[in-house]
Amino acid sequence: MTAVLIADDDPDIRDLVAFKLEQSGFDVTAVEDGLSALAAARKQTPDLALLDVMMPGMSGVDVCRQLRSDPATAALPVILLTARAQEGDVEVGFGSGADDYVIKPFSPRELVNRVEAVLARTRT
């Protein structure tokens, strides 16, 4: 089963995304901050990480940079989830090495499609 790591400090979003991905057949691990996400990814590398940008302690962008700098997680596909839709914010997100960028409010169905697309792209 494909493992997805979700990190979001908003319990409603975290539970919703976890619910939708589990419903779509993914094995989901959900954490509430950046540091926990980093620890979880290092403990057992998932197939994809879905990170909220604005999290207490360490942002999703910082987590993404840390993942990219570690050889064990450098190739991990990352999708950033954020309410920050400005061009500059998107640029910073992709600059950190993210594979995709989903803007809130989002369509849960589209989110699953994005996850599947990124996984398909990174597996080829």
Residue span 79-108 as binding mask against other proteins, x where in contact by CB under 8 A, dash where not? -------------------------xxxxx
The distance of closest approach from Cβ of residue 16 to other proteins in the complex, given in angstroms and rounded to an integer, is 5
Q: CB neighbours of 44 closer than 8 A, spacing ≥ 6?
A: 3
Sign of CA dihedral 89, 113, 14, 10: positive
Which of 27, 56, 57, 109 is in the footprint of other proteins by CB under 8 A?
Answer: 109
How big is the chain, counted in residues?
A: 124
Q: How far apart are the first and last CA of the chain?
A: 18
Between CA 9 and CA 30 the distance in angstroms is 10
Tell whether residue 54 is a contact of other proteins (CB under 8 A).
no
Nearest distance from residue 24's CB to other proteins, in Å? Answer: 9
CB atoms within 10 A of CB 67: 24
Please give the residues from 7 up to 46 whose contact with other proteins meets the rule CB under 8 A.
Answer: 10, 12-13, 15-16, 19-20, 23
Total residues contacting other proteins by CB under 8 A comes to 15
Q: Which residues of the shown chain bind other proteins in the complex (CB under 8 A)?
A: 10, 12-13, 15-16, 19-20, 23, 104-110
